[in-house]
Structure 1
């Protein structure tokens, strides 16, 4: 999924009007899942809803909205596309898309969403009715601590119905950073009254030690995924002049604090220029224990030597078995840095297979009354 918030903030900072495109409902065979998003300007587009004729026509539709829309107020437009009849695509499914103009103004909801999604779950309520939430640009950001007062003040007649659903989303135990729900006023009613989107901290965090050839290739591949990467090396000249927006570089020869400060569930990759440093890093990460993945670049021989040394340092065999070395999915023997990076990215994605998927749940206000 595109990390759209910083892109939108940059465009608005340059006074560029945009259209947000969001796939809110998918039926049958479709090229992307619910939650796929694009940003469209008069000259560029960012992200993808699946490519092909559908995406081309949606971009055209978005640019028509930009030409006809207001410079002061957002315009929201829902449209369902039948991929066979409307786009000539063989998928044969059906996509409902929300196209939303974003004028080049200060949008408080965008800053709030950026702030809260990096620290705790929040729900963004978008009114699909021009009159509701008009004082808030049609959007409301709700957190666990603000839910009661904000909903009571802002949602008027719908507060008693929306509040239970928002609280349920905020309390969702799954690991998914994002989920989406449409809320209808009554069964069979169209269009839906509200769109609720749950955001949370980045789906996963990667700490990468080493900025050599493979490290650089890892960054090129992994930076396109929904994650935040902390990239560490003690040699400042090893980093490129610019890095992707979701990559933070740290020049440091000491790593204890970096490992200690990493969030639980972090993915670690160790590939420095020094085997003694690699061993020290692996020991500290293994002793911490609450990581999702620890990968060490190297051969089976390196793993055997590290296993022996780590056990000598007092680590149990069960703990040491959590070290992945060699890294990357099996049956890809190529040692080219780019190939290694793809194999490692695939392995990390496999490791994350317990993360709950984006959900597409249509909810009616009538059913929520019983909650």
Structure 2
């Protein structure tokens, strides 16, 4: 779940589950597991996201499910030590709201602001909203003059995952809960994906996935791990031709050498081919799909964010 008010994720959850409660950390005093803006969604049969775990989250989920039957909004300030027996010495203000399709109508950015106690919008809040609209300012989530103010969530990185086999599924499971990542997941047919698609990633199936490369944004990062070496090669060829912020391919040293040779034959320079990372993951972790996924995730998170960086074409 992306940091900030994840409008897309909330809409998807409402479309799937109907009424959904959203719990957000509005304010923190002292030490707490998560900071302002951390949020989770709760529905009758499940939840997504986290506000820090432990007794705080367990209690928040119970309150959210009770509120689902009534609708509306509630604000709770919880001292973590005295009230919940947690080691953190601070206190957290939680805002719980019930959302449905009607409530989402008209929500737009760049800031989402709503009154917590019915009071009219104050001058400080109005100034924050005006500055956001004029200058694109994105202040952090906060409670100001009785209003909860959150920036709309904007993913910082787009990850395109090509392949819904064992490693693709493991990668999506590891990456989809992480904030600030937008995942696009592609394969050749619906039955290549899990029966129940995870919330968050955009899943696309088409008999000719290579044709979708032309629709990927130039700043996307690609992970290629399909069932077919021929399709992997064609995807690499098209991604290198189009330009991208990163290209990783599942395989081995032998596969990497063969792909480099074939990509040269297709007209790519050594400089272009050098942007291809193959194999992906951390060899020391082993070849289990989840181990590969963990290695890839650590590598992605360890990279310095490269906004607008493109493979030279």
TM-score between both structures, scaled by the size of structure 2: 0.79
Please list the CA deviations of residues 322-359 of structure 1 after superposition, one character each: whole Å capped at 9, or x if unmatched: 11111014632x1112221222222222236568xxxx
**Aligned partner of residue 60 in structure 2, secondary structure:** helix
* Cα distance, 1:316 vs structure 2: 2.7
* Cα distance, 1:231 vs structure 2: 2.9
**CA RMSD across the alignment:** 3.2
Identify if the C-alpha distance between structure 1 residues 330 and 307 changes in structure 2 by more than 3 Å, giving closer, same or farther.
Answer: same
Structure-1 separation of matches of 2:235 and 2:43: 45
1:247 to 202, 210, 222: 202
> What are the within-5 Å matches in structure 2 for residues 1-371 of structure 1?
1=1, 3-11=9-17, 13=18, 16=19, 19-40=21-42, 45-62=47-64, 74-77=72-75, 79-102=76-99, 106-107=102-103, 110-113=104-107, 122-132=110-120, 161-167=127-133, 170-171=136-137, 180-182=140-142, 184=144, 192-226=145-179, 227-235=181-189, 237-245=191-199, 246-253=201-208, 255-256=210-211, 258-289=212-243, 291-329=244-282, 331-332=284-285, 334-351=286-303, 353=305
**Aligned partner of residue 84 in structure 2, secondary structure:** coil
Structure-1 separation of matches of 2:77 and 2:135: 26
Please list the CA deviations of residues 262-309 of structure 1 after superposition, one character each: whole Å capped at 9, or x if unmatched: 1232121112233233222112111222x2221101112222232233
* Cα distance, 1:261 vs structure 2: 0.8
* Cα distance, 1:42 vs structure 2: 6.6
* Cα distance, 1:235 vs structure 2: 5.0
Unaligned ranges ≥5, structure 2:
3-8, 308-313
Task: Please identify, of 21-30 and 55-64, the stretch whose mean Cα deviation from structure 2 is larger.
Answer: 55-64
* Cα distance, 1:320 vs structure 2: 1.6
Q: Does structure 1 retain, via aligned residues, the 8 Å contact 2:26–2:143?
A: no
Identify if the C-alpha distance between structure 1 residues 166 and 312 changes in structure 2 by more than 3 Å, giving closer, same or farther.
Answer: same
Unaligned ranges ≥5, structure 1:
133-154, 173-178, 185-191, 356-371
Identify if the C-alpha distance between structure 1 residues 280 and 25 changes in structure 2 by more than 3 Å, giving closer, same or farther.
Answer: same
Structure-2 separation of matches of 1:352 and 1:230: 21
**Aligned partner of residue 174 in structure 2, secondary structure:** helix
Bigger radius of gyration, 1 or 2?
Answer: 1
Q: Does structure 1 retain, via aligned residues, the 8 Å contact 2:245–2:306?
A: no
**Aligned partner of residue 131 in structure 2, secondary structure:** helix
* Cα distance, 1:88 vs structure 2: 1.1
TM-score between both structures, scaled by the size of structure 1: 0.68
Q: Does structure 2 retain, via aligned residues, the 8 Å contact 1:124–1:198?
A: yes
Residue 310 of structure 2: aligned partner: none
Q: Does structure 1 retain, via aligned residues, the 8 Å contact 2:184–2:204?
A: yes
Aligned residues: 299
Identify if the C-alpha distance between structure 1 residues 159 and 193 changes in structure 2 by more than 3 Å, giving closer, same or farther.
Answer: closer
